[in-house]
Amino acid sequence: MQKITTYLWFDDQAEEAAELYTSVFKNSRIVQVQRYGQGGPGPEGSAMIVTFELEGQRFIALNGGPQYTFTEAVSLLVDCASQEEVDELWDRLTEGGGEEGQCGWLKDKFGLSWQIIPRRLQEALSDPDPAKAQRAVHAMLGMRKIDIQGLVDAAG
């Protein structure tokens, strides 16, 4: 088991979220589902805790009720190798009620924030030429989903 595991609090959609996330990312799986028994607090047989892995990273999802919700204060950053990967992840994570944000950020239909970031963005923002890096920053600020060619064109 990894030393630090991200623990996600859902109202009652932990299993649905884990199924979505493991369908979106390759090399992913649901490891275990612990279900509520008689006497709750959740409905008997419903998922209480779902342990899953995304690209080898373990997560735990809890159906804990509506007391807490996700905010942008915590997000999951995904390092993308290509525009195709950015496009696919962006589309899959925003479908069904997700929301597009600025600068590569989005919220999925459960309200969890993701940063879908191509490596090329990080390279452009750290370009040794400050003028190129600044042009990349300005281009990024005008984007929702990051467009790698748009960054390249803007940076010059």
**Domains contained in the chain, CATH given:** 1-68 (3.30.720.100), 70-156 (3.10.180.10)
Please indicate whether residue 109 or residue 156 has the higher confidence score (pLDDT).
109
CA–CA distance, 103 with 122 (Å, rounded to integer): 12
pLDDT value at position 150? 96
pLDDT value at 1 more than 80: no
107 dihedral zone (left: phi>0; alpha: psi -120 to 50; beta): beta
Name the residue among 87, 95, 60 with its Cα closest to residue 145.
87
| Residue 41 pLDDT level (bands cut at 50, 70, 90) | confident
Neighbouring-strand partners of residue 34: 49
Q: Determine the Cα–Cα distance for residues 140 and 63; give it in Å rounded to an integer.
A: 36
Give the pLDDT of residue 114: 98
Q: What is the DSSP letter of 4?
A: S
118 by DSSP, 3-state: which? strand
Q: What burial letters (b/e) apply to 99-128, b meaning 16+ CB within 10 Å?
A: eebeebbbbbbbbbbbbbbbebbeebeeee
Please determine, for residue 151, whether its predicted confidence score (pLDDT) is greater than 90: yes
Determine how β-strand 113-118 pairs with β-strand 75-80. parallel
3-state secondary structure 59-111: EEEEECCCCCCCCCCCEEEEEECCHHHHHHHHHHHHCCCCEECCCCEEECCCC
pLDDT of residue 31: 98
Which pLDDT tens digit goes with each residue over 91-140? 999 999 999 999 999 999 999 999 999 999 999 999 999 999 999 999 99
